[in-house]
Amino acid sequence: MLRTRHHDHDHACEHGHPPVDVLKVAEARCAERKLKLTPIRREVLSHLAASPAPMGAYDLIEKMHHSSGRRPAPISVYRVLDFLLEAGLAHRIESRNAYVACAHRHDGPDLVVFMICDACGCVSEASGAPVEKDLAAIAGAAGFTAASRVVEMFGRCAHCGPTEKT
């Protein structure tokens, strides 16, 4: 299946959180956990929140270079991304090797479902709670222990319409 990724599209995706909202959640979460939201962490999170599609580390570096005129080292951006993941402020979309901001208040072990549009690349996040027990039962019956609590679904967002049949 061909999966395209377009960052420049003309519709709002459900993923797109207003950066101010994401930063408010991040500030509160960091205060609760006694973590520091440094300027570079804030900047990376803001870019993730403003993007309608997942962003890779090098996408972030280019955005940061464009917005601030400085180009951070890749290792610095990867460290920030690791912090954001650990703090529950971002998620990694494994199939895209990219990241999205998270303004939801769920715990690390909660099942998260990502719906990824094949046409425009936008990502919507939903709780997997309604199917969590069924997936655990399926895995258990197969003697499988899940290392990840993320489901990625591919298809078309409401704006892009149904997948074309070939």
122 is in an annotated binding site: no
102 is in an annotated binding site: no
Q: 3-state SS string over 130-151?
A: HHHHHHHHHHHHCCCCCCCCEE
120 is in an annotated binding site: yes
Q: Cβ contacts of residue 64 below 8 Å, gap of 6+?
A: 43, 44, 47, 70, 71, 72, 77
Alpha-carbon gap, residue 101 to 141, rounded angstroms: 34
157 is in an annotated binding site: yes
Can you say which residues are annotated as belonging to the binding site for Zn(2+)?
117, 120, 157, 160
Residues of the binding site: 107, 117, 120, 132, 157, 160
Per the annotation, where are the binding residues for Fe cation?
107, 132
